Amino acid sequence: MGKNISIICFILCFLSCGYQKKEINIPANVLDKEKFSKLICDFTMAEAASSINIKNIFGNKSDSVYSFNPLFDNGISKTTFDTTLYFYSHHPALYKEAYELALEKLSRLQSARK
């Protein structure tokens, strides 16, 4: 009986060590959570502005890519953006953190306008 308890305690100790949360390092060619959340905010605001045609662009040129370019405005290449999306799509917990930061920033902007 005592041997079984020892084995169970050993197994529980061994298993509990394996569930440590690993720190994920963001590569140098990927935007950090702060910059990525700012970009998410900029894309959100560009989409909203284009939907109300804030720049009064006529005809076929009224899409958000023509009117606003958050990548260009922030000095981010398409390659960096694509790499960032790829990285965060493979790390959903980090993506969620960046998205929550963006939501907080948008909420602050909205409350400042009231």
Task: Give tens-digit pLDDT for 40-96.
Answer: 999 888 887 767 765 565 655 545 445 567 888 888 999 999 999 999 999 999 999
pTM: 0.67
Rounded average pLDDT over 8-33: 70
Token pair for 111: 């409350």
Q: State whether residue 7 is helix, strand or coil.
A: helix
**Residue 9 CA from chain centroid, whole number:** 40
pLDDT value of residue 57: 57
Residue 110 has pLDDT above 60, yes or no: yes
Average pLDDT over residues 29-46: 92
Name 4's Cβ contacts closer than 8 Å, sequence gap at least 6.
Answer: none
Token pair in block for residue 5:
């308890």
Residue labelled with tokens 């980090």: 94
